[in-house]
Amino acid sequence: MKKLSLFIISLLVVGLLAACGTAEQEGNDTSSGAEGEDKKVLKMATSADYPPFEYIDTAKGSDIIGFDIDLVNALAEKTGYEVEIQDMDFNSLIPALQAKQIDIVLSGMTPTPEREENVDFSDVYYSAKHMIVSLKDKEIKSVEELEGKTIGVQLGSIQEEKATEISEEVNLKIENRNKISELLQEMKSGRIDAAIIEDKVAEGYFAKDDQLTGFTLDSAEEAGSAIAFQKGSEYTEEFNKALNEMKENGELDELIVKWFGGQE
C-alpha cells in the first residue's frame, strides 16, 4: 500500500513538472513570437571577399564583418527589421534578387545602367575620388612626377586598379599593404614615395598629420556603391529614408572613418 501511494505521488509530481514545463515553454514561445512580429527578418546577401566592405577575418572568427555589414545593421535598426546575412559569389547576387531568394544586397555594388534594368538601387551611400598622397618635404604634385617612383595602395581596394591604370601612363612600381596606416608608415620610412588613398580618408589623416599633403586626380568621381533590391521592392523607399538620415546626422561619416581610415 505504501509503495502504491508513493507510486501515485510520483505520477502526480511528474505530471505537475510536465505541466509547468509546457506552460513555461508556451510562455517563451509567445514572447519569441511577439518579438518576431515586431521585427520582420530580411534576407541579405553579400560577397564576403571585398575588405573593408565585407569580409571574414578568420583570425577573429567566422562572422562576416565590414562597412556594409555595420551599415545594413544600422539601417535595419532604424527601419524596424532584422537582417539575416548570407555569403555568395558576387555574380550570383543579382540573379538571387531576381529569383526572390533574397531581399537586399550590400556588396560594394555600383548601380550601373545594366544592373538597373534588373534590380532597384538605393541612393549611393559611398563614393570618393582618388588622391595621390605624399610627404610635404618630398611632395609629388602630378602624375608625371610618379615616373620611376614606388606607389603604395591598400590591398583589395579600388586604388589597386587605379594604380595599374596609372602604370600604363608612367613607369612606376606598385606596393600593396593591408592598411592605409601601413602605407603612411612605409612612406615615412622611405620604402614608398607616395600612396593612392580615397580623398575622404586622406583628408582625415591630413587633419592629424601635418607631414602629409596630396592632390586629387583629375578623373570622374567613382560611381559609388548602393543597396540593391528586388525590382519594385517595398523596402527601397524605407531604406533610402533611413540612409539619408544617417547622411544628415553624421552616422554614415563615422562608419566611413571606421572602415576606410585604417586606424584600428
DSSP assignment, residue 138?
A: G
3-state DSSP assignment of residue 73: helix
Helix axes 235-249, 251-260, angle to 10 degrees: 80
Predicted structure pTM score: 0.60
Across 121-125, 196-200, 208-212, least confident range: 196-200
Is the distance from CB of 123 to CB of 243 less than 8 angstroms?
yes
Please tell me the distance from the alpha carbon of residue 253 to that of residue 203, in angstroms, as a whole number: 13
Long-range Cβ contacts of 30-33 (<8 Å, 24+ apart): none
Q: CA torsion angle for 31, 32, 34, 38 (degrees, to 10)?
A: 140
Q: What is the pLDDT of residues 131-143, one digit of tens each?
A: 999 999 999 999 9
What are the grid coordinates assigned to 105, written together? 544586397
Residue 85 confidence (pLDDT) above 90: yes
Q: Which of residues 222 and 178 earns the better pLDDT score?
A: 178
Compute the distance between CA of residue 203 and CA of residue 219 in angstroms, rounded to an integer.
18
178 Cβ contact list (under 8 Å, min separation 6): 154, 155
Can you tell me the mean pLDDT for 121-134?
Answer: 92
Q: Sorting pLDDT into bands at 50, 70 and 90, what band is 20?
A: very low
